Amino acid sequence: MSKRLHEDEDDEDDYMSDKILTAAAQASAPQLLNPRRRVPPPPTSAPPPKEKSRKLIETEQREQGLSTAIASDNKGFQLLKKMGYKEGTKLGMNQSNGLTEPIPIKILPSRTGLGEQNEKQEQIRIKAEVRTKFHQQAQSTYQDHLKQKYYFKRLRKDIGKCQSICEKLDREKFNLEESILWRNSNIKQDEKGEDDEEFDDGNNQQVVMELQLKTLTEYLRDKHLYCIWCGQTFETSEELEETCPGNERDLH
């Protein structure tokens, strides 16, 4: 009995044998647990070609038919020959304006009626014209506002200049202490915010300021022989009339 146990122990493989080491290496190799993540085998043959769509087949057949000339055995071609048509010539009584090629086919992008596309293009054109007109009006309104603002600013400047000169000449020539034509404190305070002022009633204010400027320039010309636009005092009224082109800025 002891002899048989000893023989069984000798039959067992040694833990350092090649058989044990090979089995351990295979067991420790990385395994893909998820079968979906396994690398697919390389394709053995080319994939089958995809079938052409119906639209592509129709397009190819149409292009082929349009690029192919009408055969001589065609019934329409034979009827044209009977009516005197010769191959290569133009159709129609007037050969200079006739057609040598058939009228081209225009494929519509949608299944709507024949006039639908033209109507859409007309609506797009009308909208573009309205948009362009609106931008032009807005630009014109903005430019008019800037011109009006600049004109009011220039009027204030001219009025202030006339008032200052009028006060100086009146004090020197007439020894006056006060005049309604001179610049007063209220106007000075108003001019401090002239750039930020908005004109609610621009037409009336423009008339008042233009009348005030005309009154001041005429007063300076009559009483002091002075032209605000020329910037000088004349010796006589005759010299003023002959030398000065007029009592307006645009004349100078």
Span 74-111, pLDDT tens digits: 888 888 888 888 777 787 777 777 777 777 777 776 77
Look up the pTM and report it.
0.45
Average pLDDT of 1-8?
Answer: 46
Alpha-carbon gap, residue 101 to 78, rounded angstroms: 17
Alpha-carbon gap, residue 106 to 103, rounded angstroms: 9
Strand partners, 226: 233
- Confidence (pLDDT) at 48: 74
- Confidence (pLDDT) at 218: 92
Q: Which of 152, 175, 137, 159 is nearest to 215 (CA)?
A: 159
Span 139-153, pLDDT tens digits: 888 888 888 889 999
pLDDT for residue 45 is more than 80: no
C-beta separation of 163 from 175 below 8 A: no
pLDDT for residue 2 is more than 50: no
pLDDT for residue 1 is more than 60: no
Question: Model confidence at 159, in pLDDT bands (50, 70, 90)?
Answer: very high
Average pLDDT of 165-194?
Answer: 73
The residue extents of the domains of the chain are 117-194+201-251
- Confidence (pLDDT) at 216: 93
